[in-house]
Structure 1
Amino acid sequence: MTIKLLAIGKTDSKPLQQLISEYENRLKHYVRFKLETIADIKNAKNLSEVQQKDKEGELILKKLGPTDILVLLDENGKHFSSIHFSKYLQKKMNSGIKQLVFVIGGPYGFSDAIYNKAHGKISLSKMTFSHQMVRLFVVEQVYRAFTILKNEPYHHG
């Protein structure tokens, strides 16, 4: 299985990017992982929230294959402990899916088209984080999940 993380906009912070890269490299030992960035919408300030979500939604849909399982990182999604998230990933791998795609939306969330296409929603916290930080948290939690599944000490380190 491949895990893909789609995110709107690039990471401006070099230290954050270095940490994200570190966890991406660690993940290579466990699973095929890809982080793909979708460019920010041009002239977004001239668009309504709905128009911006719709344009971002179109770009997200273009990045999906027909058999991809889409999971949204959404404030109204399901909450997991790290252990339960590792079990969730194990179930996805056991189900034989080829690609699991997590998506971090833009500043206003997702379009209706994306919500309709999604196979689920996960919330990292009731708090709001910058989209750049969420990338790090997702990559780190995917890595943590695999170390839990392999009974490696990272989770309790």
Structure 2
Amino acid sequence: MKITLLLVGKTTESHLNQAVEEYLKRLKRYISFEVSVIPELKNAKNLTFDQQKEKEGVAILNALDSSDEVILLDEKGSQYSSVEFASLLEKKGLASVKRLVFVVGGPYGFSCDVYARANGKLSLSRMTFSHQMIRLLFVEQVYRAMTIIKGEPYHHE
């Protein structure tokens, strides 16, 4: 199984980029993991929030393959402990999911079409985090999940 983190817009905070890169290096020994970035919209200031969501939605849908299993990182999604998240990833791998795509949308959320395409929604917390912070938190949790699956000591009960 390959995991893809699909993002709208790049991370501009260098310290967050460095931390994400560190976890991406660590993940290489466990699983095929990639980060794919959809460029931010040009002239977004001239668009309504709904227009931005629709345009970003088209770009997100264009980045997906029909066989992808898609999980949106969404505040209304299911919440898991780290151990439960590891179990979810393990089950997806055993179910022969070819590519599992987690999507972080733009600042105003997802379009109706993206919600309709999604196979599920995941919330990392009931708290709100910046889209740039979510990237780091998510990559760290995937790394933690891989160490849990392998029985390594990174995660402590």
Q: TM-score, normalised by structure 1?
A: 0.98
Q: Which residue of 2 aligns with 1:45?
A: 45
Secondary structure, aligned partner of 2:16: helix
SS at match of 2:96: coil
Whole-Å Cα distance in 2 between the matches of residues 29 and 59 of structure 1?
31
Matches within 5 A, 1:6-155: 6-155=6-155
**Separation in 2 of the partners of 1:64 and 1:24?**
21
Q: Secondary structure at the match of 2:74?
A: strand
User: In angstroms, what is the RMSD of aligned CA positions?
Assistant: 0.9
- Distance in 2, matches of 1:40 and 1:132, equals 13
Q: Equivalents in 2 of 1:108, 1:21: separation in Å?
A: 26
What do the CA deviations read for 1:14-39 (whole angstroms, capped 9, x no partner)?
Answer: 11101000000100011000001111
**Secondary structure of the corresponding residue to residue 143 of structure 1:** helix
Rounded Cα–Cα distance in structure 2 between residues aligned with 1:156 and 1:15: 26
What TM-score, normalized by structure 2, do the two folds share?
Answer: 0.98
Note the alpha carbon deviations across 1:100-146, whole angstroms, 9 max, x for none.
00000001100000000000000001111010110001100000000
Unaligned runs of 5+ in 2: none
Letter in 2 for 1:82: S
Three-state SS of the structure 1 residue aligned to 2:67 is coil
Q: CA offset at residue 49 of structure 1?
A: 1.1
Structure 1 segments unaligned to the other structure (5+ residues): none
Q: Count residues with an aligned counterpart.
A: 157
CA distance in 1, matches of 2:108, 2:15: 25
Distance 2:43 2:71 in 1: 27
Equivalent AA in structure 2 for residue 69 of structure 1:
E
Q: What SS does the corresponding residue of 2:73 show, helix, strand or coil?
A: strand
Residue identity matched to 2:24: E
Following TM superposition, where does structure 1 have runs of at least 4 consecutive aligned residues deviating by more than 6 angstroms?
none
